[in-house]
A and B are shown apart, each in its own frame.
Chain A
Amino acid sequence: MTGTPVAVSVKAVDKVFRTRKGGEVHALSDVSLDVAPGEFVSLIGPSGCGKSTLMRLIADLDGVSGGEIEVFGKSPEQARKDQDYGIAFQQAGLLPWRTVRANIELPLEIHGVDARGRKERSDELLALIGLEDFADHHPDQLSGGMKQRVAIARAMAERPRLLLMDEPFGALDEMTREHMQNELVALCEETGAAVVFVTHSIPEAVFLSDRVVVMSPRPGRITGIVDLSFAARDEDLREDAAFYEGVTAVRTMLHGAEAGAGPRGVENR
């Protein structure tokens, strides 16, 4: 590779959507952000502040209107073609006609990994997410948490150095959510992947992240970044004073940013 120290580099990015009625939505304005390899960065902010848009730009699911994005020193398009990232959305988005195993193997299959290689990898991942017994089930036979675990396993199938996750736990209840957060921490420690994680739960962002990026809407921009350096991310952390300090810091920044932001939009991404 180019020896670059950054996983994602976002420089002065603007994104303007033109709506059909001829209007313009300034979704992102002058956004700059670097994500180091192995770093866990959360994007947090009220609905409509451009979190999903930023993630989609990094994933090359949409193009910038201005500024520049590099992923591992390459254009997002090249990074997408090189399969440098894995991605998971709020809706698990599993294909209903495929079994759990076949869903996990989907990216491997598309990229021409042979049957043996696929099975080896899906066995590993099934063990990792604790769903070995459900390998031959279909998504409609799983709970929401299980589906989301499968989606995360699928995102990790090709051992990407970067994971992009857009509110992957948004549809889960609080209990399942904390459990999934613990699992995600474990998975990230194992794989050493950098993560860009969209959420609008403050405790979730604080628990998971090395850095929390606080955004505000109209136009979408970064209003501040909270650095968190916890010794260990385990159940004890949730009761730790440092954790609450982090939560307070993010909340303060968020509310400062939100003052005068007007009513919240409806979250739909």
Chain B
Amino acid sequence: MRGDRIRGVLWGLAGVLAAMALWEGYKALAPADGIVIGELTVLPRTTDIAMPHIWDMVARLFDPVTRAAGADVLWWAVLQAAAFSLGIAALGWLIGVVSGMVLALLMQRWLTAESAVLPWVVLSQTVPLIAIAPLVKRWGTAIHIGSFEWENWMSVAVIASYLAFFPVAVSALRGLKSPHAADVDLFRAYAAGWWTGIVRLRLPSAVPYLLPALRLAAANAVVGTIVAEVSIGLGGGVGRMIIEFAATASGDPAKTWAPIFGAMLIGLVSAGLVSLIGLGLGRFRRGEAPA
């Protein structure tokens, strides 16, 4: 077990090193105008503007964001933005997981619910994020309950949850339906109620299906958050930072990459946090694992 984990980390590091070697290798060997076939640039230019050196990108992290007096150092600004986005993504993930589970339970409980809801669940994912972002924002701002004010970050969380609930709903339903007929019969013989069956049989059986879905939901929530930050125009997170810094690309190419590192960091952290959930659930993964 322990050896496996260390090997995993080593392979991960090897992957990062390989990516870095590829970057610098291509930059060193390919012509400055990139690889052009006819009129078409099939591989990118290798100028310092298009592909800064890795060490330049890293070094840039330790300079201030702007030349203005009192500006934060870049890595700190990126870290704050990443934490902000991670917070929203986590909230979106939570909402998505809860609503995905509730949907799956409804669909498991009532067959008609499954045939009525499942097509919509699938269909919902074909609507592009860019299209729903303004809608969510508009609907949100129409909500007035007492002193409650809908804010943009809430729209972003809702959109992240919209992407996160899908894998959870589908996998949870599959998992809830996974117990053998004989086990279901056994619970019927015990005159166990629906909820008892859920808690003692169906949810435990669903764990091996749920863990990958939770991971996928986390990745979706992160992507959803970053894209929605851009579409909604929410400042403070990594999404807006990517757009803002891209505007300065010609003058300060290395800076563009800093928020992208931030986005990668969010992805890593969220994946790590979700796999922590799996640690406590080892006993539910005994016996035959699903394909």
22 pairs, A vs B, C-beta closer than 8 Å: A59-B189, A60-B188, A61-B189, A80-B191, A81-B191, A85-B189, A89-B186, A91-B180, A91-B182, A95-B183, A95-B201, A96-B286, A96-B287, A97-B207, A97-B283, A97-B284, A97-B287, A106-B190, A110-B200, A139-B286, A139-B287, A140-B286
- A59 vs B188: C-alpha distance in the bound complex, in angstroms? 9
A93 at interface, CB cutoff 8 A: yes
Residues of chain B in range 233-291 having any CB-CB distance to chain A below 8 Å:
283-284, 286-288
Task: Kindly identify which residue among A80, A96, A109 contacts B189, using a CB–CB cutoff of 8 Å.
Answer: A80
Q: Which residue of A lies closest to B187 (CB)?
A: A110
Q: Contact string, A74-86, partner B, CB cutoff 8 A, digits 1/0? A: 0000001101010
Q: Is the CB of A93 within 8 A of B182?
A: yes
Contacts A97-B284, A106-B200 known; A83 to B190 CB distance under 8 Å? yes
Q: Hey, which chain B residues are within 8 Å of A97, CB to CB?
A: 204, 207, 283-284, 286-287
Q: Given A80-B189, A81-B191, A83-B190, are A110 and B182 also a contact pair (CB < 8 Å)?
A: no
Most B CB within 10 A of own CB, among A87, A95, A107, A138: A95
Given contacts A61-B188, A87-B189, 4 further A-B contacts (CB under 8 A): A56-B185, A60-B189, A80-B189, A96-B287
Q: Nearest Cβ in chain B — how far from A84, in angstroms? A: 10
Q: Give the most central of A56, A109, A110: most B CB within 10 Å.
A: A110
Chain A residues with CB under 8 Å of B196's CB are 110
Q: Which A60-113 residues have a C-beta within 8 angstroms of B?
A: 60-61, 80-81, 83, 85, 87, 89, 91, 93, 95-97, 106-107, 109-111
Chain A residues in 8 Å Cβ range of B191: 80-81, 83
Known contacts A80-B191, A87-B189, A110-B190, A93 near B284 by CB under 8 Å: no
Query: CB distance A93 to B180 under 8 Å?
Result: yes
B residues near A56, Cβ cutoff 8 Å: 185
Interface residues of B in 186-208 (CB under 8 A from A): 186-192, 196, 200-201, 204, 207
CB distance from B242 to the nearest CB of A (A): 43
Closest 3 CB pairs of A and B: A96-B287, A96-B286, A97-B284
Is the CB–CB distance between A93 and B200 below 8 Å?
no
Across-interface contacts of A140 in B (CB, < 8 A): 286-287
Inter-chain CA distance A60–B287, complex, in Å, is: 29
Taking the nearest CB of chain A, how far is it from the CB of B203, in angstroms?
10
Residues of B within 8 A of A83 (CB): 190-191
Report how far A91 CA is from B182 CA in the complex, Å.
8
Number of interface residues of B (CB under 8 A): 21
Contacting residues, chain B, for A81 (C-beta < 8 A)? 191
A: number of interface residues (CB 8 Å): 23
A91 proximity list for chain B (CB < 8 A): 180, 182
Shortest beta-carbon distance from B211 to chain A in Å: 14
State whether B186 touches A87 (Cβ < 8 A): yes
Chain A residue at smallest Cβ distance from B191 = A81
Shortest distance from the beta carbon of A113 to any chain B beta carbon, whole Å:
12
Which residues of B sit under 8 angstroms from A139, Cβ to Cβ? 286-287
Which residues on the A side are within 8 Å of B288 (C-beta)? 96
Chain A hits for B180, CB < 8 A: 91, 93
List residues of chain A with CB within 8 A of the CB of B192.
Answer: 110
Against A, the Cβ 8 Å flags (1 = close, 0 = not) of B158-181 are 000000000000000000000010
CA gap between A70 and B1 in the complex, in Å? 54
Q: What's the minimum C-beta distance from B1 to chain A, rounded to whole angstroms? A: 16
Q: In the assembled complex, how far is the CB of residue A63 from the closest CB belonging to chain B, in whole angstroms?
A: 12
Q: Is the CB of B183 within 8 A of A93?
A: yes
Nearest chain A CB to B112's CB is how many angstroms away? 19
> A93 near B186 (CB under 8 angstroms)?
yes
Q: Please indicate the chain A residues that have their CB under 8 angstroms from the CB of B188 in the complex.
A: 60-61, 80
A60 / chain B contacts, CB cutoff of 8 Å: 188-189
Closest chain-A Cβ to B186's Cβ sits at a distance in Å of 6
Q: What residues on B are CB-neighbors of A95 within 8 Å?
A: 183, 200-201, 204
B185 touches which of A61, A85, A110, A138 (Cβ 8 Å): A61
Give complex CA distance A248, B207 in Å: 51
A110 vs B197: C-alpha distance when bound (angstroms): 9
Given A61-B185, A93-B180, A110-B200: A138 and B190 within 8 A (CB)?
no
CB distance from B223 to the nearest CB of A (A): 33
- Please measure, in the bound complex, the distance between the C-alpha atom of A96 and the C-alpha atom of B178, giving whole angstroms: 13
Cα separation A85 to B190 with both chains bound (whole Å): 9
Chain B residues in 8 Å Cβ range of A110: 187, 190, 192, 196, 200
Tell me whether A138 and B182 are in contact (CB under 8 A).
no
**What separation, in Å, do the CA atoms of A61 and B186 have in the docked complex?**
9
A56 to B181 CA separation, bound complex (whole angstroms):
13
Bound Cα distance from A213 to B186, whole angstroms: 25
